[in-house]
Amino acid sequence: MQSIRMTMTFFKSTNQAVSAKAEAAEFEQLFEGHWERLCSVLYRITGDTHEAQDLALEAFVRLYQHSPANQDNLAGWLYRVATNLGFNALRAHQRRQFYETEALKESMLQDFPANPEEDAARRMENQHVRKILRSMKPRLARLLVLRHSGFTYAELAETEGVRKNSVGTLLARAEKEFERLYLAERSDQDAP
Amino acid sequence: MHPDEGEIRQFLDEEHTPTRQREIAAHLETCDRCRKISQAVSARIMLAEESLAETSFNPQSTGSARLELNQRLDSAEKENKFMFKKTFARIPRAAWVTLGVIGVLAIALSFPSVRAIATSFLGIFRVERVQVIPVDLENLPQAFGSGESFEKFMANEVQVEEFGEAKEVSTREEAGTAAGIPVRLPGNIEGEPRLRVEPGGRMTFQVNYELARAVLDDIGQHDIELPEGLDGAPIEVVIHPAVMAMYGECRVEEEIKAMEGMDPDESEAPPLSECTTLLQTTSPTISAPPGLDLGQIGEAYLQILGMTPQEAASFAANVDWTTTFVIPIPKYADYQQVLVDGVSGTLVEYRERGTAWYALLWVKDGLLYVLSGPGNGETAQGIAGSLE
């Protein structure tokens, strides 16, 4: 099968071969079918609408430029690449955390939300969840996010390249790890 | 039989077969312990669900996102054309850096000159056995050569210390003393060999996770996972002194030099001299933090060489990465496991410009041997069998 890059090149030309049309249609179908869901997954990771959309577009650009040799599971590849981009972005943010916290305080002072206390609590909680995801093993964090974005066991098995019956075990492990880090984060907060 | 947490997790999502769902439901009715586990698992699901709940977010429409994607693809294409020219001039140095530091990939880049393998691949693990995988290597040099991150990684993170200079010696005893190993030579080749002692060296680096990630991104491997704990991990590779015995019309140094400055525009490697070489050395060693998952690094390495994640996982599961040297060879070469010198070895055979060539690799008593030259498997076996 031709690569997606070839597919798109053919797609742009005026004399499209029938097979090229079919392959271009496959890329279009992937975009149509996964754009919103990919954004939603990335939003759960980054907590930032602009960044989520930016990274989702980047994932499609990479699919176009470097589509995998094995094209049997392009959607799985796309989600793996996208979630890696998301977690990389989270790690990059770690370095800027001090500035972010300062910015958060600043925005809380400026925004004058209807319910300032509730809003502040939500934003802090949001930050803690990102911190936990950043600390988790990438594969477990990815599974957790994908599952809670509505992925079925069959889809998770396909994305991760595991048997469907292993998904429950991996999810249980991921949620246990999430809980452990969550409680540790809470106890740090409660410490005087 | 109590269901484990994973089964309970699957049960709560009703993802078992109907029969298994009923069995677990019945079990939970009667087993306090499992019921408590089930409650704990449910609580964790709720916690994750609430924490990861999506607050109102409607991404831009698919149509407008598609337009934005088109713009990005167009500008990426223009940038690529510019980068192509820029990187083309850089390939020789980058390719050679690869050759020197990542011995494994070096073989891939330099395979047509098999004798160069002997001097360039001694960089990974304590080798106790050798395994080969046929891969499509056509795009590897370009992929690495075009990566700015790779050059940055090599320039900033890797320190190389050589233990001296290569020197020629006159006798096997002298070579043995200089290299610190007992030197064996073939008894069935006429004439005295040229003996050259390679000094060995030490390579140390601390892994910079983000830079390593950037290198993988540069070569289009965005979905390879690197192990936890890799960031900051100190790695030390020690390559011990080696003795190279050369028979026939040998121009090994010239060939290596030619490879160092090889112009990618001239795709053909210089012609090989009619030379048989035997390289022997103590197995190289690599030390890394005990917690580092070498298996996962191995999987990443196999994926770089073109395997799918599933193939890499399956292959990697059967390899002891602390003792096995996995060599990529081009698909056009034949290879097989053979009995050599009383142990199992690997014979690689290929043809270049109408001539048959071989490389035979084996490890015995902690020493690594690489025999290569013109001829076929029988020639190789005959020479290896006459070592004394």
**pLDDT, tens digit, 9 for 90 and up, residues B19-42:** 999 999 999 999 999 999 999 999
Q: Nearest-CA distance from B62 to chain A in Å?
A: 6
Query: B132: helix, coil or strand?
Result: strand
Query: B238-258: string of b/e by CB count within 10 Å (b at 16+)?
Result: bbbbbbbbbbeebbbeebbee
Range among A12-26, A125-139, B280-294 with highest mean pLDDT value: A125-139
For residue B271, the tally of other CB atoms under 10 A from its CB is 13
More confident residue, B64 or B285: B64
Q: Which residue has the higher pLDDT, B28 or B157?
A: B28
CB contact under 8 A, A53 and B45: no
Question: Domain residues for A14?
Answer: 1-95
Domain residue ranges of chain B, discontinuous segments joined by +: 5-51, 99-385
Say if residue A30 is exposed, middle or buried (CB neighbours under 10 Å; 0-12, 13-18, 19+).
middle
Residues of A with CB below 8 A from B52's CB?
A: 44, 129, 144-145, 148-149
Average the pLDDT over B381-385 and give the result: 93
Q: What is the pLDDT, as a whole number, of residue B115?
A: 32
d(CA B178, CA B163): 12
Highest mean pLDDT among A11-20, A39-48, A107-116: A39-48
Chain B hits for A167, CB-CB cut-off 8 Å, are: 10, 15
Whether the CB-CB separation of B345 and B339 falls below 8 Å is answered with yes
More confident residue, B181 or B230: B181
More confident residue, B169 or A114: B169
Check CB contact under 8 Å for B10 and A153. yes
- Tell me, what's the pLDDT at A180? 94
pLDDT, average across residues B318-325: 71
Q: Which two tokens stand for residue A7?
A: 């597919």
Q: Contact A170/B6, CB-based, under 8 Å?
A: yes
Residue B101 has pLDDT above 60, yes or no: no
**φ, ψ at B350 (rounded to 5°):** -155, 170
Whether A38 has a pLDDT exceeding 90, the answer reads: yes
Residue type, A137: K
Q: Could you give the CA distance from residue A11 to residue A9 in angstroms, rounded to a whole number? A: 5
- Stretch 109-148 of chain A: residues touching chain B, C-beta under 8 Å: 122, 125, 129, 132, 137-139, 144-145, 148
B119 vs B360: which has the higher pLDDT: B360
Amino acid B199: pLDDT: 79
CA distance A144 to B19: 27
- pLDDT surpasses 70 at B153: no
CB-CB contact of B349 with B357 (8 Å)? yes
Asked if B168 reaches chain A (Cβ–Cβ under 8 Å), the answer is no
What is the per-residue pLDDT for A106? 46
What's the mean pLDDT when you consider all of chain B?
Answer: 71
How far apart (Å, rounded) are the C-alpha atoms in residues B376 and B360? Answer: 10
- Phi and psi at residue B122, in whole multiples of 5°? -85, 55
Q: Are A4 and B42 in contact (CB under 8 A)?
A: no
Whole-number pLDDT of residue A71: 67
**Is B356 a residue whose pLDDT tops 50?**
yes
Q: Which of B72-81, B172-181, B244-253 has the highest mean pLDDT?
A: B172-181
- Of the pLDDT bands very low, low, confident and very high (cuts 50, 70, 90), residue B325 is low
Q: Which of B201, B117, B106, B96 is nearest to B159 (CA)?
A: B201
Mean pLDDT computed over B289-308: 71
Confidence band, pLDDT 50/70/90 cuts, at residue A12: very low
Integer Cα distance of B13 and B29 in angstroms: 18
Percent of chain B residues past pLDDT 90, beyond the cut: 19
Higher pLDDT, B65 or A116: B65
For this complex, say whether ipTM is above 0.85.
Answer: no
Q: How confident is the model at residue B268 (pLDDT cuts 50, 70, 90)?
A: very low
A170 assigned to some structural domain: no
User: If DSSP codes are grouped into helix, strand and coil, which group holds residue B95?
Assistant: helix
Q: What CATH number does residue A80 fall under? A: 1.10.1740
Q: Which residues of B touch A176 (CB under 8 A)?
A: 5, 44
> What is the arithmetic mean of pLDDT over B152-172?
73
Which tokens is B260 given?
């160092």
**pLDDT at residue B7, rounded to an integer:** 93
What is the pLDDT, as a whole number, of residue A17?
35
Cβ(A84)–Cβ(B223) below 8 Å = yes
Compute how many other C-beta atoms are within 10 angstroms of the C-beta atom of residue B261: 9
Whether the per-residue pLDDT at B88 is higher than 60: the answer is no
Number of C-beta neighbours around residue B128 at 10 A: 15
Q: What 3-state DSSP class applies to B359?
A: strand
Candidate from A80-89, B2-11, B157-166, B279-288 with smallest mean pLDDT: B157-166
**Would you call A57 and B66 a contact, using CB atoms and an 8 Å cutoff?**
no
Q: In this structure, what token pair is assigned to residue A159?
A: 């994305």
Please state, in angstroms and rounded to a whole number, the distance separating the CA atoms of residues B200 and B181: 13
Query: CB of A65 within 8 Å of any CB in chain B?
Result: yes
Q: Does any domain span residue A160?
A: no
**Based on the structure, what is the number of domains in chain A?**
1
Environment class of residue A190 by beta-carbon count within 10 Å: exposed (0-12), middle (13-18) or buried (19+)? exposed
pLDDT digits (tens, 9 = 90+) for A149-187: 889 999 999 888 888 889 999 999 999 999 999 998 888
CB contact under 8 Å between A49 and B59, yes or no, is: yes
Confidence band (pLDDT; 50, 70, 90) for A124? confident
